[in-house]
Amino acid sequence: MMIHSRITYFSAILMLSLSFAACSNSTSPDEQDNSDRSEMLNNYGNNIILPAFEEIQTAVKELQVAAQDFENERTLEQLENLQVALKDARIAWQDVSPFQFGPAESILLRSSINTYPVDDNEINDNISSGDYSFGGIDNQDIAGLPTLGYLLHGVGESNEEILAMYTTDAEAENRMTYLLDNITFVKDKIDTATSEWQSSGGDYIGMFLSQENAGTDAGSSLGMLINHYVRHYERFLRDGKIGIPAGVRSAGNPRPKAVEAYYGGYSVELAIANLNQIEQIFAGAGGKGLDDNLVSINNRVDFDTEELTSDIKSQIGDAQSALEQLSDPLSQQIENNNEAVLTSFEELHALVSMLKADMTSALGITITYQDNDGD
Amino acid sequence: MIPESVKKYITPQVSIAPLAVFRFLFGFIMLVSIIRFTLKGWIYELYVEPDYFFTYYGFDWVTPLGETGMYLLFFVMGLAALSVMLGYYYRFGIILFFLCFTYVELIDKTNYLNHYYFVSIISFLLMWVPAHHSFSLDVLRKPSLRKEYVPAWTVNIFKLQLGLVYFFAGAAKLNPDWLVNAMPMRIWLPANADLPIIGPLLEYTSTAYIFSWAGAVYDLTIAFFLLWKPTRIFAYITVIIFHMMTYFLFQIGMFPFIMILCTLIFFSADFHQKIIGAISGLRKLLPFSVPNSEPTPKKSEEFQLSKNSTNVIGGILIIHFILQLLVPLRFALYPGHLFWTEQGYRFSWRVMLMEKAGHITFNVTDPATDRQWQVRNYKYLTPNQEKMMSTQPDMILQFAHYLEDEYQKQGINDIKITAESYVTLNGRRSQPMINSDVDLTNQDRGFTHKDWILPFNENQQNWFRSLQ
C-alpha cells in the first residue's frame, strides 16, 4: 500500500516532467506562434511605430521652416503655407498617437502637444504679458498643436484678418514669438520621443524587441502596445474626437468647441486618419499584425478567431463609413445634425468590447497598465 | 467527549520547534512582502491614488487613511511583521499585524487575492498560539517564558488550514472547463512561450492538459502526502517545483514563496531544530554580539493553558474551522454558473481558474430632461478597478450606486442607470452579462441572488449541482 501510493505519486511528478519530452513527437504544435509574435513585434517596432515617429518629426521640422518663412515674409501666401504645414503635422500625429508608451509616456507627449480644447483667454494673456512657460501639468491647454491651430486659424475671421494680427496688430511681435516658441516646444518633444525610439539614440526599439520583454504581462512590449492601443481608441478617438464634443459624456449637452482642430475645422479628417491608423495597426500594415496573431491561435480558444478578426475588421469599416458621413467643420455638424455624430459614436463604441474583451482575452493579454499580482 | 483518535491531534505535548520556526518564517516573508509592496509603489497606486474604493458589503466603514496614514500603516505593519519574526513582544505584534493587514485588505475588493485572504487567516490563527515561547527575543527578555513543549493543536491547526486551502483549491479545479477544455491554461501557457528552455513546450495544447490535470492532482493530494512521513520529502520537492513553476509562468507575486515556507510546518521537530540551529548560527555573522543562551529545555517545561482560555480559544477555533468548511461551499446556494455570476466566488480558494475579461458601459437617463448619456468609467476608476469591475456583478452594482450619489450631488435626482456589459469567460466570445433593461439604482446590494445577471448560455448549472 505504502509503496504503491509512493509509486503513484512519483508517476504524477514524472508525468509532469517527462510528458514535455513525450508530446513533442506526438502532437503537432502551432509552431509558428512564438516566432509569429516576435515577427509581429518586429513589424510593429520597425515598420509602423518608428516610421510614424520619423514621419511626424519631418512634418514638424517642415512646420518650423514654414513658420520661419512666415516670420521673415509676412504674406498671405506664407500664412497659407504655414497652415498647410500645421495640418500635415496634425495628420502625422494621428499615426503616432496610439503609441503613448515608453519614451512618449515618460515625456507626457500626448498631453503636452495635443490637449484640446485650448484656453484662448490665457493664450491671449500670455501673448500680452510675454510671461509664460510650456510643459507644465496645469498649462497644457496653452501649448502644442491645438494652440497653433488657434494662433493660425482662430485669431481672425479671414486669413487677411489673421495676417493682420502678425503684421499691424499692436501685439503682432509678441504673437509671432508665442507662435515660434510653441513650435519649438512641439519640435523638442517630438525630437526627444523620436530619438529615444531610434537605435542610434535611446534605443527604445532595442528594448521593445528584446527577449525579456517578449511576454504578455503588463510590462511586456505586446502588453504595453495593446493596452495603449485600446486605451487610445477608447479615450482619445471614440471619446476625445467624437463622444465628448457630441455630448455623450456631458449629460447629453453637446460641446462643439471640444472637437480636435476646432479653429482649423478639419476634425473629421483627423478622426478618419486616426481610425485608419487603428485599422493599420490591427492589420499589421501589410506585415504580421494582431489579425494574423489572432487567427494563428485558433486552437486555443473555443470560438472561431477568424470570425472575431473579420468582425473587428468589418466593425472598423462600419465606423469608417459612419465617420465619412460627417462633414467638417465637425463643430457645425454637431450643432446642426448631431444625430449623425451620435451614430458614428455608436459605431466606434461597438468595437471597444471586441478589442478590449475578446481580443485581449484570447491573446492572454491583461488589460491594465498597472503592475499587480494575481491569483 | 472527544474521541481518542481525534484527541491525539489536540492534547499531547509536542515540540515547540515547528511552531517557532513557522512564526519566524511567516514573519520574515511578510516583512519581505511589505517591503516589496512598498517599493513597487503599490501603497500609493492602490490606496492613495484612487478616488473611489469598492468596499466589502458590511464593511463600508473601512476607508483608507490618506497618504501619510497609509504609509504609516504599512510602516507599522512592517514593524509588526518584524516583531513576529523575531518573537519580540510577539503577542502584541501578531495582533497588530493581523489588524493592519486585514484592514488594508478590506479597503478595496479590487485587490482581493486568495493569497491575501490566506495571510489574514494565518495571522489570525497565530494570534492564539504560544509561538514565541522558544527561538525568540521574548525568551531572552524573559527566560521564564521558555517552553519546550506545546499542545499538539497549536501546530496542527496550521496543517489543517493548509490542507483545507489545497483541498478546496483542488476541488475547485474539478470542473469541465479545467479538466475537459484545459481552460484557462490553454490561453495562459502559450503567452509564456518566450521563456527559455520550457517556453516552446508551452505552445502545445497537450501541455495545457498536463498542467491542468497535474495541478488538480497536486492540490487534492499534496496535504496528505505531506502529512505522511514516507512521502513527505518527495511531496515537499513537488511543492517547490509546483510553486516555482507558477512563479515563473504567472504574475503571482510572493505567494509561491509563502507556500513553500509555510508547508515546512509538516516536517518533524528534529528537522525544525536543525533550522533553528542554522538560523541561530547565522547570528555569529553579525557585527555585534547577541546573547545566545536560551535556557536549556527540560521535559517539565510544557505550555499549559488555563481551563478558561482552553474553552475560549477552543470555541473560537471550532467556529473558525466550521466556517472554513462552509464558506467555500456557499456557492451551491446560488443559481447560475459560479464563474459567470461570481456569487460565492471569493474566500473559497478558487485560484487561477478563469480567464475573464469584459467591457462595461453605464447608460444614464435623467427623467427630468429625458437626456441620455454614458459614463466615462476611467474618470472615476483606476485601470485596475475598471478591469476588475467589468467582470464582477457586485462591483458593477456598487459602482452604479456610487454614480447615483455623484449625480445626486450635482442636483440630478432619480436618475436611471443601466449597464451594457460584454464579458468573455475562458476563451469564449463575449456575451452580455447584465440585463440592460434593469435600472441598477433600484437594486439592493447584499448576499441574495442577483437576478439581473443574465444567464450564461452554456453550462447553466454550476458543477456542484450538475453532479446531483
Q: With beta carbons under 8 A apart, name residues in chain B contacting A218.
A: 251
Q: What is the pLDDT of residue B223?
A: 97
Cβ atoms of residues B43 and B70 within 8 Å: yes
Of A361 and B298, the one with more pLDDT: A361
Q: What is the pLDDT of residue A34?
A: 56
A60-81 tens-digit pLDDT: 999 999 999 999 999 999 999 9
Chain B nearest C-alpha distance from A85 (Å): 34
Q: What is the mean pLDDT of residues B25-50?
A: 97
B433-448 tens-digit pLDDT: 999 999 999 999 999 9
Q: Where are the alpha helices (DSSP H) in A214-367?
A: 221-231, 244-246, 267-283, 290-296, 305-324, 330-336, 338-353, 360-363
Q: What is the pLDDT of residue A218?
A: 75
Contact of B374 with chain A, judged by CB distance below 8 Å, is answered with yes
Q: What is the mean pLDDT of residues A340-355?
A: 96
How many CB atoms sit inside 10 A of residue A41's CB?
A: 22
Whether A368 and B230 lie within 8 Å, measured CB to CB: no
Nearest to A8 by CA among B460, B235, B330: B235
User: Given a cut of 80, is residue B410 above it in pLDDT?
Assistant: yes
B205, B366, B390 ranked by CB distance to A299: nearest? B205
Whether B371 and A252 lie within 8 Å, measured CB to CB: yes
Q: What is the mean pLDDT of residues B12-39?
A: 97
| Region class of A365: left (phi > 0), else alpha (psi between -120 and 50), else beta | beta
Encode burial over B403-419: b for 16+ CB neighbours within 10 A, e otherwise: bbeebeeeebeebbbbb
Whether A15 and B351 lie within 8 Å, measured CB to CB: no
How many CB atoms sit inside 10 A of residue A82's CB?
A: 25
How far apart, in whole angstroms, are the C-alpha atoms of residue A317 and residue A298?
Answer: 23
Which site among B105, B187, B242, B360 would you substitute to test the A interface, given the most A Cβ atoms closer than 10 Å to its Cβ?
Answer: B187
How far apart, in whole angstroms, are the C-alpha atoms of residue B106 and residue B121?
Answer: 13
Chain B nearest C-alpha distance from A297 (Å): 9
A183-196 tens-digit pLDDT: 999 999 999 999 99
User: Given a cut of 90, is residue B165 above it in pLDDT?
Assistant: yes
Contact of A221 with chain B, judged by CB distance below 8 Å, is answered with no
The pLDDT-based confidence of A2 (bands split at 50, 70, 90) is: very low
Q: What is the pLDDT of residue A26?
A: 38
Nearest to A115 by CA among A87, A88, A93: A93
B192, B253, B358 ranked by CB distance to A357: nearest? B358
**Which 3 state secondary structure label does DSSP give B453?**
strand
A250, A301, A373 ranked by CB distance to B187: nearest? A301
* Chain A residues 27-66 with a CB less than 8 Å from chain B: 27, 29-31, 33-34, 37-38
The pLDDT-based confidence of B1 (bands split at 50, 70, 90) is: low
Q: With beta carbons under 8 A apart, name residues in chain B contacting A372.
A: 42, 46, 111, 251, 384
User: Given a cut of 60, is residue B219 above it in pLDDT?
Assistant: yes
User: Given a cut of 60, is residue A357 above it in pLDDT?
Assistant: yes
Of B302 and B407, the one with more pLDDT: B407
| Sheet containing B356-366, strands listed edge to edge, beginning at the edge strand earlier in sequence | B371-374, B356-366, B416-425, B431-432
Q: With beta carbons under 8 A apart, name residues in chain B contacting A37.
A: 193-194
The pLDDT-based confidence of B342 (bands split at 50, 70, 90) is: very high
Residues 6+ apart with CB under 8 A from B448: none
User: Given a cut of 90, is residue A136 above it in pLDDT?
Assistant: no
B59-81 tens-digit pLDDT: 999 999 999 999 999 999 999 99
Q: What is the pLDDT of residue B191?
A: 85
DSSP β-bridge partners for residue B149: B15, B302
B203, B205, B206 ranked by CB distance to A34: nearest? B203
Contact of B248 with chain A, judged by CB distance below 8 Å, is answered with no
ipTM surpassing 0.95: no
| Region class of B136: left (phi > 0), else alpha (psi between -120 and 50), else beta | beta
The pLDDT-based confidence of B298 (bands split at 50, 70, 90) is: low
Residue of B nearest to A38 (CA): B194
B245-257 tens-digit pLDDT: 999 898 889 999 9
The region of weakest confidence among B38-42, B362-366, B453-457 is B453-457
Contact of A365 with chain B, judged by CB distance below 8 Å, is answered with yes
Share of chain A above pLDDT 70, in %: 91
Whether B45 and A19 lie within 8 Å, measured CB to CB: no
How far apart, in whole angstroms, are the C-alpha atoms of residue A145 and residue A141?
Answer: 10
How far apart, in whole angstroms, are the C-alpha atoms of residue A348 and residue A279?
Answer: 12
Predicted TM-score of the model (pTM)? 0.90
Of B5 and A165, the one with more pLDDT: A165
Contact of B430 with chain A, judged by CB distance below 8 Å, is answered with yes
Which site among B350, B379, B424 would you substitute to test the A interface, given the most A Cβ atoms closer than 10 Å to its Cβ?
Answer: B424
User: Which residue reads 521563456 in cell numbers?
Assistant: B195
Q: What is the mean pLDDT of residues B457-465?
A: 53
Q: With beta carbons under 8 A apart, name residues in chain A contacting B426.
A: 302
Q: With beta carbons under 8 A apart, name residues in chain B contacting A9.
A: 221, 225, 231, 234-235
Q: With beta carbons under 8 A apart, name residues in chain B contacting A16.
A: 210, 214, 241
Q: What is the mean pLDDT of residues A208-216?
A: 87
Q: What is the pLDDT of residue A32?
A: 44
Contact of B192 with chain A, judged by CB distance below 8 Å, is answered with yes
Q: Is the dihedral of CA B12, B14, B16, B18 positive or negative?
A: negative
How far apart, in whole angstroms, are the C-alpha atoms of residue A351 and residue A279?
Answer: 11
Q: With beta carbons under 8 A apart, name residues in chain A contacting B390.
A: 357
C-alpha cell at B276: 533553528
Distance between start and end Cα atoms, chain A? 36
User: Given a cut of 50, is residue B467 above it in pLDDT?
Assistant: no
| Region class of A364: left (phi > 0), else alpha (psi between -120 and 50), else beta | left
Which site among B359, B423, B434, B458 would you substitute to test the A interface, given the most A Cβ atoms closer than 10 Å to its Cβ?
Answer: B359
How many cross-chain Cβ pairs, A to B, lie less than 8 Å apart? 194
Chain A nearest C-alpha distance from B128 (Å): 28
A106-120 tens-digit pLDDT: 999 999 999 999 999
Q: What is the mean pLDDT of residues A263-270?
A: 97
Q: What is the pLDDT of residue B285?
A: 66
How far apart, in whole angstroms, are the C-alpha atoms of residue A271 and residue A285?
Answer: 18
Q: What is the pLDDT of residue B129?
A: 96
Cβ atoms of residues A341 and B342 within 8 Å: no
Summary mean pLDDT of chain A: 90
Nearest to B336 by CA among B459, B175, B171: B459
Q: What is the mean pLDDT of residues B212-224?
A: 97
Q: What is the mean pLDDT of residues B358-387?
A: 93
Whether B359 and A352 lie within 8 Å, measured CB to CB: yes
Summary mean pLDDT of chain B: 92
How far apart, in whole angstroms, are the C-alpha atoms of residue B149 and residue A49?
Answer: 67
Whether A251 and B371 lie within 8 Å, measured CB to CB: yes
Q: What is the pLDDT of residue A31?
A: 43
A20, A239, A368 ranked by CB distance to B384: nearest? A368
Specify the long-range contacts of residues A18-26, CB closer than 8 Å, at least 24 apart.
Answer: A19/B206, A19/B207, A19/B210, A20/B198, A20/B201, A20/B207, A20/B210, A23/B201, A23/B204, A23/B206, A23/B207, A23/B210, A24/B201, A24/B204, A26/B206
How far apart, in whole angstroms, are the C-alpha atoms of residue A120 and residue B235?
Answer: 71
DSSP string, B106-152: HH-GGG--HHHHHHHHHHHHHTTS-TTSSSSHHHHH-GGG--SEEET
Q: With beta carbons under 8 A apart, name residues in chain A contacting B199.
A: 34
* Cis peptide upstream of residue B256 (ω within 30 degrees of 0): no
User: Given a cut of 60, is residue B278 above it in pLDDT?
Assistant: yes
Whether A30 and B203 lie within 8 Å, measured CB to CB: yes
Contact of A375 with chain B, judged by CB distance below 8 Å, is answered with yes
C-alpha cell at A170: 499692436
Contact of A108 with chain B, judged by CB distance below 8 Å, is answered with no
Which site among A37, A308, A373 would you substitute to test the B interface, given the most B Cβ atoms closer than 10 Å to its Cβ?
Answer: A373
Chain A nearest C-alpha distance from B338 (Å): 17
Chain B nearest C-alpha distance from A29 (Å): 5
Q: What is the mean pLDDT of residues A52-62?
A: 98
Which site among A5, A18, A237, A361 would you substitute to test the B interface, given the most B Cβ atoms closer than 10 Å to its Cβ?
Answer: A361
The pLDDT-based confidence of B6 (bands split at 50, 70, 90) is: confident
Cβ atoms of residues A233 and A271 within 8 Å: no
**Which 3 state secondary structure label does DSSP give B370?**
coil
* Chain B residues 66-95 with a CB less than 8 Å from chain A: none
The pLDDT-based confidence of A29 (bands split at 50, 70, 90) is: very low
User: Given a cut of 80, is residue B458 above it in pLDDT?
Assistant: no
Q: What is the pLDDT of residue A27?
A: 40
The pLDDT-based confidence of A214 (bands split at 50, 70, 90) is: confident
User: Given a cut of 60, is residue A7 above it in pLDDT?
Assistant: no
DSSP type of residue A372: -
